[in-house]
Structures are given as structure tokens and as C-alpha cells.
Amino acid sequence: MLTRDDQAWFFKTQASIGALEPHADTFREFIKSLEFREDRPVWSLPADWSEQAGGGMRIATLSFGDPSTPIELSVIPLPVIGDNERQYVLSNVNRWRGQLALPPLSIDELDGATETIETAAGAAIVADMTGWSSGSMAPTGPFSEGTGTTSAPHPPASTQRQNSSSAGGSSPIEYETPEGWKTLPASGMRVAAFSVGEGEQAAEITVIPLGPQAGSLLDNINRWRQQIELAPIKSDELAASVSEIDVGDDQGQYAELIGSNERANGQAIFAVAVETTNRTWFIKMMGAQSTVERQRDHFRAFASSIRFND
């Protein structure tokens, strides 16, 4: 993470320890190469790394490792929220720790859990964490966050009921996939993922479970608002920002967040948070506002079709 003026730049990757650990030194060398030109970061691409254009909130996606199962590193800019940069760093570190089922840190523990790398672009804060990816028995370290045709405004009959497991494995969820959604690999923390729309008009749908460190509903609403450059809301504004939605046999909280066309390139997020016995599940659609709004009924129907097996 590197802050510059009122903008924070995040360079993040996550994979199993065995896959990621051999690239730790290369990752740090990559961070050391950062500099800014015309208010955007540039870097020296390590040997055997590749670079693809960004999409959504990403300005770039870098890939490395085994070509058959490459590791992705996302580059995402977000506005700095609040006047206390140290607290801002801590909030992000604790969010990542929550994704790995690790307990949050106090402000006094932050320095011991991070390192500072000096670059031509300024000081970069590096957090190297090892934990457990939700729904997986494999330890991971977060050294990625993250196309078909747009379907009609009202969802037709959905496809047959599906689950998110591979053949022979136990499934944490079952669901019905709306027509027109393309299935993406369920990698990292995602137990299910889809895309709809093309190019800059694409939207991505993900289902992610988190453990006890998922944070409050307000924390997550404000994290999503940050992703599309909306100001955070206060606790007394939360009730007006969410509504109830049935998710299978459970009840979730549903939110629609529309970004500023000028500041967030017309991005929108529709999301559902639902608590089950052991986890908090986040069902999220993010992408071009026009596509997200057109997919509203599909998204709500998809969320309502989910049955949890945890």
C-alpha cells in the first residue's frame, strides 16, 4: 500500500503459501521499482511476469508463477478516508487479516506486522500475512482481490440448481445461475463467481464467506462505498441504506451503491450480507452502473436462490 496525496494505491496478491512464497523477494523488488509519472504509478516488470489491462477498479493486473495456474496481482487506487493515515493503514491490514481468519491488530501492533519499503514514489507499507482462506483447509498468504452478454432486465427461468464444489467434494452453497451469466473459476476466497456484460460494461458477481473478523455491516458498507469513491456513512444512516432480503432459509441485508459518474467511472455495487452459524457471507455484484442496474432482478433472484450447507 502506497499513499500519495489523498489517494492510496494497493498492490495485492493472495495464493497458497507454496505457490506464493518463492516470489516474496521478487515482489519486494517490484515494489522498490515503483515511481509516479503523471499521477499514475509505473514499475519495472520482473522477468517472467506479465501485465494485462485493468478492468473495473483495477488499473492493471500482473500475473506470475506457473503459467497453467498463474498468480494475479491487482493494482487498485482508492481514495484515502479520514485524516489519520496510520489508522487508515490499520483498517486495511485488519480487513486483509479478517479475510485470512486472523484476529485484528491494535494500533500499537501495526509496526511489528508491517515493513516499510522506500521507493521513488514514496514509502510503501508491506503486509505479509499467512492465514486460512475461508472455506479451505489450505493456508494462504495475501502478498487478489477483483464475459458474457447482458441479459434482459427480468430474469427468465434459471438453469438447474448447481453447487460450488468440484466433483466429489462437499459444497458450501447451492444456487441457481441466472441466464446470461458466465461462470468464472472459484479461486481464492470465492466459492462462486460469475461475469456478465462485455469490456468496460462488464460486471462481476462473487460469493465470499468470511469468519468472525468479517467486520460489522457498517464497516463493510463503507468499504464498498470506498471502492466506488463514495463518502462513508455514519451508524445512524445505516438503516436507510439497507433493506432485508431472503437468502434461502436465511435473511440478509441488501444494499445498492451507485458511484459518481465523474469520480468512479459510473461504477455500482449491489451487495448482500447474510450471517449463518459459522460465517458471514457476502454476495456482491460490481461493475458498470448500467449493467449492474440492468441485472438487479437477476442478482436478487440469484441471492434468494442460495442455500448454505455450512
Residue 156 domain-assigned?
A: no
Total domains in the chain come to 2
Residue 153 domain-assigned?
A: no
34 touches 23 (CB < 8 A): no
117 and 169 fall within a common domain: no
Section 229-257 average pLDDT: 93
Residue 151 domain-assigned?
A: no
Count of Cβ atoms closer than 10 Å to residue 82 Cβ: 9
CATH, residue 178: 3.40.1000.10
Domain of 36, in residue numbers? 2-141
As a dihedral over the C-alpha atoms of residue 94, residue 100, residue 102, residue 105, rounded to 10 degrees, the angle is -20
98 touches 127 (CB < 8 A): no
Q: Which three cell numbers stand for residue 52?
A: 494485462
Residue 301 has phi, psi (to 5 degrees) of: -65, -40
Residue 149 domain-assigned?
A: no
- DSSP string spanning 215-252? --HHHHHHHHHHHTT-----GGGSGGG-EEEEETTEEE
Which segments of the chain does DSSP mark as H helices, in order?
17-20, 24-32, 85-99, 110-113, 217-227, 261-264, 289-294, 296-305
pLDDT(167) > 70: no
296 and 212 fall within a common domain: yes
Section 56-70 average pLDDT: 88
111 and 227 fall within a common domain: no
Residues in the chain, overall count: 310
Q: Which of 262, 200, 273, 270 is nearest to 229 (CA)?
A: 262
53 and 123 fall within a common domain: yes
Q: Which three cell numbers stand for residue 253?
A: 441485508
What is the per-residue pLDDT for 144?
37
Please tell me whether residue 112 adopts helix, strand or coil conformation. Answer: helix
Q: Which of 144, 290, 288 is nearest to 228 (CA)?
A: 288
Domain end position, chosen among 90, 112, 141:
141
Residue 147 domain-assigned?
A: no
91 and 137 fall within a common domain: yes
Binning pLDDT at 50, 70 and 90, where does residue 187 land? low
Section 250-275 average pLDDT: 85
What is the per-residue pLDDT for 155?
42
**57 vs 236, more confident:** 236
Residue 304 domain-assigned?
A: yes
185 and 295 fall within a common domain: yes
Q: What is the pTM of this model?
A: 0.53
| C-alpha gyration radius of the chain | 19
**208 vs 255, more confident:** 255
Residue 253 domain-assigned?
A: yes
What is the per-residue pLDDT for 65?
92
Which residues does 223 contact at the CB level (< 8 Å), separation at least 6?
95, 215
Percent of the chain with pLDDT over 90: 47
131 touches 100 (CB < 8 A): yes
